[in-house]
Amino acid sequence: MTDQPTLGFDTLQIHAGARPDPATGARQIPIYQTTAYVFRDADHAAKLFNLQEVGYIYSRLTNPTVAALQERIATLEGGAGGVCCSSGHAAQLMALFPLMGPGKNIVASSRLYGGTITQFSQTIKRFGWSATFVDIDDADAVAAAINDDTRAIFCETIANPGGHIADIDGLAAIADAAGIPLIVDNTTATPYLCNPIAHGATLVVHSTTKYLTGNGTVTGGCVVDSGKFDWSQNDKFPSLSQPEPAYHGMTFAEVFGPLAFTFHGIAIGLRDLGMTMNPQAAHYTLMGIETLSLRMERHVENAGKIATWLENDPRIDYVTYAGLDSSPYSKLVPKICPKGAGALFTIAVKGGYDACIKLVDSLEIFSHVANLGDARSLIIHSASTTHRQLSPEQQEAAGAGPNIVRLSIGIENVEDLIADLDQALTKATA
């Protein structure tokens, strides 16, 4: 259904990628729990392996259930194609893999999920890659950090944990001027609240584990390609613009055009890295996306009420929710996230580290887990958990200092959530 852009979001979140099963007529997408697929004949097999025909070979590469999810997410994001994989972290590596090489670097926001900062500052060094972290609110600093070896700019739409909003249009302009792609992690906004491609992003990554699935059952990731970047405009991306030895000198950009990145992600990324999404996980996420808009509306509504209540509570130093008029990011919300500022933000608790720990331990409805985007309300003390591996300076830069807790507001009755926070804050700050 990617050829029907006039359909509304609520319709597409149910129908995109979904077709009745041709064998049984089953209306819901089946879980194709199979590792391999029978070829029609030897010629059919050869064409599939030569990328001369699209089809199913082996479930490390392609699977009908996963393919339906890829199409649905790409449609909702307004992209040309998508590649699903085993986790959000895998999606980040999948996004970088065709772009990078030894000695190359990315310019990344200093306000990212702690695990992403660790992946970019430590793990990718093993590939010979590196990252330069900058305050993406400072356009001059972003531009100055780019050099001849820079291959991408990376940011989050709504930053985890602080809920800060990125000026995607401004970052896209800087990336375009440098001839490099802008990669946007849209996990915390989802395509319902923000469409990064419409603001100039080249690639969008997701941890489908979070809001897209929405029920805390499976992990997954996805990379969506806008199909709008010219990979042959310079010599920076040879994996896409130059002959590929593994496919007898075929050039992905020439053969696949707007789908070059997507086909490379499947034919080489999944083939060689093997970070495959299993079909059951894809099924759970497909089910979750069917109610995405309904859930996000409640997430945002609850988050706004709770953030306002917390901002006026004397036991709280400050709240970072971009939906508050007091937020320095409030002016970006109508532009970047016109349907709301999401449901993820942090609060600074008076009493510091010890009060944060008591707060977390005293809550009854909020769940203390290392996750976000669940239908349930969640809380975590980032400095002692998700951002623990970072230095104190990195924690502060990421908005995860010792006096900070992160809230992921769910879809429960908001009065119950406020009452739970109230009683826990009383215990924590007594």
Could you give the percent of the chain with pLDDT greater than 90? 89
Q: Determine the average pLDDT of the residues in 341-347.
A: 97
Domains of the chain by start residue, with CATH:
9-288 (3.40.640.10), 292-428 (3.90.1150.10)
Enter the pTM of the model.
Answer: 0.94
List the single range of 22-31, 94-103, 387-396 with lowest mean pLDDT: 387-396
pLDDT digits (tens, 9 = 90+) for 144-203: 999 999 999 999 999 998 899 999 999 999 999 999 999 999 999 999 999 999 999 999
Average pLDDT, integer, range 78-94: 98
pLDDT tens for each residue of 215-229: 999 999 999 999 999
Is 60 exceeded by the pLDDT of residue 426?
yes
pLDDT of residue 383: 81
Mean per-residue pLDDT for 351-380? 95
* C-alpha separations of 344 from 169, 216, 363 in Å: 22, 16, 17
Residue 152, φ and ψ in degrees, nearest 5: -170, 160
- Of 4-18, 81-95, 185-199, 219-233, the range with the lowest mean pLDDT is 4-18
Spatial separation of the C-alpha atoms in residues 187 and 202, rounded to whole Å: 16
- Give the DSSP H/E element, type plus range, for residue 190: helix 190-193
**The pLDDT value given to residue 5:** 54
Please state the rounded mean pLDDT for residues 102-116: 94
pLDDT of residue 397: 74
| pLDDT at residue number 392 | 82
Following CA atoms 300, 161, 386, 286 in sequence, which dihedral angle do they give, to the nearest 10 degrees? 40
Q: What is the pLDDT of residue 402?
A: 87
Instruction: Report CA dihedral (337, 221, 259, 13) to the nearest 10 degrees.
Output: -50
**How does pLDDT run across 29-64, given as a tens digit for each residue?**
999 999 999 999 999 999 999 999 999 999 999 999
For residues 373-390, average pLDDT: 85
